[in-house]
């Protein structure tokens, strides 16, 4: 039997993960991506002669499927991972840190809390109580800010722990964060295993990983948006905005929810509902080049600032990540660079005499998607066996992250293979 011909619409992480899995399952894979770049939100491009990522991306050690994806792309060496959870936190020039102890969770985190200077003793007790409560709680309702208040977390504890760790993890302010999703993150990263929350990131521009992942596919069509997908009795007919069309045995739609609705206007017919009800949350990164060379951290958190994390990408280059950036994404580059430089140079004593050489900003008004209350995230399978759906916003059990994107892509590939009973071999 000839290899099944499968189209993948969308060359973000979800589409690439689906494509890699389908290829390994013996399919002919044709990838269509609207942009000239692969990777979707997790890509890289040039800004003023510097290659920057579309925002700093980190993964945690518990993101096992993302790591497996990078390995499959042959890029394992491009990933850095801490040997233990170890973070530096600055507040108004005061530096303190949290380094996991050799103890079972959650003691691995609570023990190093003792010398943590940004939280008083009472706050530490509050935090310990909340972590133990989260380790026991099953289904939690409501928003996370409410849950924290109900569990006696003071403003100080929110500022010194919950804000810097949870706002970037879920890209939302605590009051817009579902308590159940927050609990999942804490349980997975902090309470399951003392190694799970180790930070990692790519040491090469993300686009290099994405290009490597796409290298072995049958065809990769960049700058080729899919305009419509026509699901027929014996296959799918796909048209692109460039006026081309082709037939496939099946398709993976690895698109953001509204783009999916546009290419498949009768999506409800195959069980895809509420595609216009996802909320988008902005992320912004401010890139700062200064004249002080290398600083003594790889990355650090800032308290009391719109910047949650700063990553030292190379000597003299800091990438500052602003999750839940809200209206800031609409500010002009000059305005936001000046504001963030003021924040960063005031918070880091090493930069008190430094000069800003250059600044840039990358903006993602649609940084992440979250399902509105009442919306059910769809799984990979649809009511039509020839169509599967992927995307970090689908029902993977994870919030909108790289891990969710990869899981969704793999699930979509497996769904197509199983539903079509393709006799494939790994």
Ligand X SMILES: Cc1cc2nc3c(=O)[nH]c(=O)nc-3n(C[C@H](O)[C@H](O)[C@H](O)COP(=O)(O)OP(=O)(O)OC[C@H]3O[C@@H](n4cnc5c(N)ncnc54)[C@H](O)[C@@H]3O)c2cc1C
Residues interacting with ligand X, by CB under 6 A? Answer: 9-15, 32-35, 40-42, 54-55, 57-59, 225-226, 254-256, 259, 263, 283, 285, 364, 367-368, 391-392, 400-405
Closest distance to ligand X from the beta carbon of 325 (Å): 9
> Collapsing DSSP states into helix, strand and coil, what is residue 419?
helix
DSSP string, 322-334: ESS-GGGGGS-HH
- Identity of the residue, 161 or 398, whose beta carbon is nearer to ligand X in the bound complex: 398
136/132 Cα distance (integer angstroms) = 7
- Identity of the residue, 54 or 153, whose beta carbon is nearer to ligand X in the bound complex: 54
**Token code pair at residue 281:** 């949350």
- Identity of the residue, 157 or 171, whose beta carbon is nearer to ligand X in the bound complex: 171
Q: What's the angle, vertex CA 153, arms to CA 152 and CA 156, rounded to 5?
A: 140
- Identity of the residue, 35 or 154, whose beta carbon is nearer to ligand X in the bound complex: 35
Closest distance to ligand X from the beta carbon of 236 (Å): 14
- Identity of the residue, 148 or 405, whose beta carbon is nearer to ligand X in the bound complex: 405
159/303 Cα distance (integer angstroms) = 7
Closest distance to ligand X from the beta carbon of 412 (Å): 11
> Collapsing DSSP states into helix, strand and coil, what is residue 143?
strand
> Collapsing DSSP states into helix, strand and coil, what is residue 228?
strand
Nearest to 64 by CA among 401, 423, 299, 353: 401
Closest distance to ligand X from the beta carbon of 202 (Å): 10
Alpha helices in 264-423 (DSSP H): 333-347, 402-419
Nearest to 190 by CA among 106, 257, 267: 106
Nearest to 390 by CA among 40, 56, 63, 67: 40
Tell the residue number behind the tokens 């700062």, with chain if given: 288
- Identity of the residue, 33 or 343, whose beta carbon is nearer to ligand X in the bound complex: 33
Length of the chain: 426
209/183 Cα distance (integer angstroms) = 31
- Identity of the residue, 113 or 260, whose beta carbon is nearer to ligand X in the bound complex: 260
Closest distance to ligand X from the beta carbon of 221 (Å): 9
Closest distance to ligand X from the beta carbon of 169 (Å): 8
Closest distance to ligand X from the beta carbon of 285 (Å): 6
């Amino acid at each position: 039997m000839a290899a099944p011909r499968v189209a993948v619409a969308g060359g973000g992480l979800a589409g690439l993960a689906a494509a890699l899995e389908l290829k390994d399952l013996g399919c002919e894979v044709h990838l269509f991506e609207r942009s000239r770049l692969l990777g979707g939100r997790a890509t890289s491009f040039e800004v003023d002669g510097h290659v920057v990522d579309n925002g700093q991306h980190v993964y945690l050690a518990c993101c096992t499927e993302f790591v497996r994806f990078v390995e499959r792309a042959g890029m394992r060496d491009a990933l850095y991972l801490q040997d233990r959870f170890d973070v530096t936190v600055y507040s108004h020039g005061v530096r303190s840190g949290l380094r996991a102890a050799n103890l079972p969770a959650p003691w691995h985190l609570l023990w190093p809390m003792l010398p943590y200077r940004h939280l008083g003793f009472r706050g530490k007790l509050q935090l310990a109580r909340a972590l133990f409560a989260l380790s026991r709680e099953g289904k939690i309702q409501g928003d996370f800010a409410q849950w924290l208040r109900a569990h006696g977390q003071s403003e100080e504890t929110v500022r010194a722990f919950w804000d810097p760790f949870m706002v970037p993890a879920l890209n939302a302010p605590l009051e817009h964060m579902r308590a159940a999703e927050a609990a999942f993150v804490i349980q997975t990263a902090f309470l399951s295993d003392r190694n799970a929350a180790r930070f990692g990131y790519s040491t090469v521009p993300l686009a290099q990983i994405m290009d490597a992942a796409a290298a072995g596919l049958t065809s990769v069509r960049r700058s080729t948006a899919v305009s419509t997908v026509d699901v027929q009795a014996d296959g799918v007919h796909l048209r692109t905005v460039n006026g081309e069309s082709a037939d496939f045995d099946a398709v993976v739609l690895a698109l953001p929810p509204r783009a999916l609705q546009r290419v498949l206007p009768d999506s409800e017919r195959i069980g895809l509902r509420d595609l216009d009800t996802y909320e988008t949350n902005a992320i912004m990164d401010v890139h700062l080049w200064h004249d002080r060379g290398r600083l003594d951290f790889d990355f650090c958190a800032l308290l009391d600032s719109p910047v949650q994390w700063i990553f030292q990408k190379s000597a003299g280059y800091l990438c500052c990540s602003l999750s839940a950036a809200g209206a800031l994404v609409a500010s002009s580059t000059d305005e936001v660079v000046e504001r963030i430089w003021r924040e960063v140079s005031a918070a880091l004593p090493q930069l008190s005499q430094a000069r800003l050489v250059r600044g840039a900003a990358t903006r993602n008004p649609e940084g992440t998607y979250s399902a509105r209350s009442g919306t059910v995230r769809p799984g990979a399978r649809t009511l039509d066996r020839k169509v599967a759906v992927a995307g970090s916003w689908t029902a993977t059990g994870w919030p909108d992250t790289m891990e969710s994107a990869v899981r969704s892509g793999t699930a979509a590939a497996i769904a197509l293979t199983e539903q079509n009973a393709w006799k494939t071999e790994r």
